[in-house]
Amino acid sequence: MEHVRQVTSHSQVLWRLFGLSAIGIVFFFVPISIDGNTTIPLDHLVSWIKNTFGNLINLYVLMIILAGAIMPLWTGQWRQSGGQKLFTLLKCIGAVSAFMALTKIGPAFLHEPDILPFLFNKLVVSVGVIVPVGAIFLSFLVSYGLLELIGILLQPIMRPIWRTPGRSAIDAVASFVGSYSLGLLITDKVYKNGQYSVKEATIIATGFSTVSATFMIIVARTLDLMSHWNLYFWSALIITFIVTAITVRLPPIKGLSDNVLAPEPQAIKGQRWGLAYQTGLSQAAQAGRVSHNLLATVKDGLLMTMTILPAIMSVGLLGLLAAKYTPVFEWLGWIFYPITALWGLDNGHQLAQAASAGLAEMFLPALLLSEADFVLRFSAAITCVSSVLFFSASIPCILATSIPISVFRLVVIWALRTALSLMLSIPLALLIAG
């Protein structure tokens, strides 16, 4: 009987490691075609939910935003610091903006297609659905040993180039295939478990947690680049990772703490596969009940959704208005103008200005350069992805995690990433254009 129990137990552990993890892999990383649309199952599920429930989803998103705005007032969190007071104010502005977007009340200029309707329908609703729904399947991806197994296998690549553990490859792929918010959800969970240092978590959050391939399609369509889709996608992917490899060796990331509570086991030469397998089995055996893990991950997803949606509405709205009605991004663009001028671009100031607008919302460069020539459009399409950081979503999302990094450092990292992205994407665009 003891032997049977051991076999059964081992079978359960194997099912957890390979069966439950496979569910997460399929939903996040395996594209399937439904009605002529090829994307990952999670994206299909989100689209089905949005199409099936329609206006109910809009109402749900509004309730989430209202709850996110009320929560810091209810808990007293707004009193903790000046930064918390500012973000609480922005969340309240976001709640009012969402109410106006849904009810169509307020000044007419706010309801122009590229202001509130774009912000609410294209960004906020999508994030409001994909984060909590994705959290359900996220549990299968991160809780049952897959992270540990892949981490040890990829140590020879990730550690020397990007200064991160092998397990961070999961975060990078989740961002590009799923969503930056899902990638950050993984990063935050692993960081709170003591498996990332502050430096590693910051590298992953600011270097890998970019927008998804699905959103890149929207960028490519807006900039009329779908005829070059494969070239654009892989160029953006490679340049994003090259820029990350450079920024990890520069301040402010270089000086961050690299202490980690639960580091990845280091494989002895020739024993990497065996150690990876045993480490994965060990994690699968130690994981709690499936129902408990699901509830915990969904709770984290809902809390993150409540935190980021009001910020997306407020900061995104302010950024869109600033880009449309003020010269602020024109002034900020002078930081990057020397780079565009270096390559002799006729309208380099337009690209510099558009790149600076990406700090407010990553989609702004695409909107501003939709009628520009190929070199500007291709460079902007890559830069808005490889810059990673923007105030309408990814920065509030990072600040909603447990990673201790300031807004100032995030802005410095954004400036470095944008400058490096322009330096790499412009010559590539010129080469393609001939």
In tens, the pLDDT along 52-106 reads 998 899 999 999 999 999 999 999 888 877 777 888 899 999 999 999 999 999 9
Q: Please tell me the predicted confidence (pLDDT) of residue 67.
A: 96
- Closest listed residue to residue 135, CA positions, set 189, 72, 203, 60: 189
pLDDT digits (tens, 9 = 90+) for 264-285: 676 667 788 888 899 889 888 8
pTM: 0.73
User: Rounded distance, CA 144 to CA 330, Å?
Assistant: 49
Between 386 and 395, the more confident residue is: 386
Contact 308, 400 (CB under 8 A): yes
Burial class (CB within 10 angstroms; exposed 0-12, middle 13-18, buried 19+) of 371: exposed
Contact 218, 363 (CB under 8 A): yes
Q: Please tell me the predicted confidence (pLDDT) of residue 150.
A: 82
Q: Please tell me the predicted confidence (pLDDT) of residue 380.
A: 97
Contact 290, 97 (CB under 8 A): no
pLDDT exceeding 70 applies to what percent of the chain?
A: 95
User: Rounded distance, CA 338 to CA 251, Å?
Assistant: 21
User: Domain coordinates of the chain in residue numbers?
Assistant: 2-433
Residue 1 has pLDDT above 60, yes or no: no
180 φ/ψ sector (left φ>0, alpha ψ -120 to 50, else beta)? alpha
Q: Please tell me the predicted confidence (pLDDT) of residue 410.
A: 96
Q: In angstroms, what is the C-alpha Rg of the chain?
A: 22
User: Rounded distance, CA 77 to CA 116, Å?
Assistant: 28
- Closest listed residue to residue 100, CA positions, set 128, 92, 393: 92
Residue 398 has pLDDT above 50, yes or no: yes
Half-sphere exposure for 298 (CA within 13 Å, toward CB): 9
Q: Please tell me the predicted confidence (pLDDT) of residue 413.
A: 98
Q: Please tell me the predicted confidence (pLDDT) of residue 177.
A: 58
Contact 169, 154 (CB under 8 A): yes
Q: How confident is the model at residue 176 (pLDDT cuts 50, 70, 90)?
A: low
pLDDT digits (tens, 9 = 90+) for 359-374: 988 888 988 898 899 9
Between 218 and 51, the more confident residue is: 51
Give the rounded distance of the alpha carbon of 328 from its chain centre: 26
Residue 171 has pLDDT above 80, yes or no: no
Residue 2 has pLDDT above 50, yes or no: no
User: Rounded distance, CA 185 to CA 234, Å?
Assistant: 24
Residue 7 has pLDDT above 60, yes or no: no
Q: Please tell me the predicted confidence (pLDDT) of residue 354.
A: 93
Residue 396 has pLDDT above 80, yes or no: no
User: Rounded distance, CA 366 to CA 358, Å?
Assistant: 9
Residue 347 has pLDDT above 70, yes or no: yes
Question: CA distances (Å), 57 to each of 38, 51, 60, 212, 372, in order?
Answer: 23, 9, 5, 21, 36
pLDDT digits (tens, 9 = 90+) for 220-260: 888 989 888 889 988 998 999 999 999 999 999 999 999 88
Q: Please tell me the predicted confidence (pLDDT) of residue 5.
A: 36
Q: Please tell me the predicted confidence (pLDDT) of residue 71.
A: 93
DSSP 153-170: HTHHHHHHHHSS-TTHHH
User: Which 3 state secondary structure label does DSSP give 281?
Assistant: helix
Question: CA distances (Å), 409 to each of 45, 312, 389, in order?
Answer: 36, 20, 11
Q: Please tell me the predicted confidence (pLDDT) of residue 293.
A: 87
Q: Please tell me the predicted confidence (pLDDT) of residue 179.
A: 66
Residue 301 has pLDDT above 90, yes or no: no
User: Rounded distance, CA 166 to CA 186, Å?
Assistant: 14
Secondary structure string (H, E, C) spanning 191-223: HHCCCCCHHHHHHHHHHCCCCCHHHHHHHHHHC
Q: Please tell me the predicted confidence (pLDDT) of residue 4.
A: 34
Check residue 361 and report its DSSP letter.
-
Mean pLDDT, all residues of the chain: 87
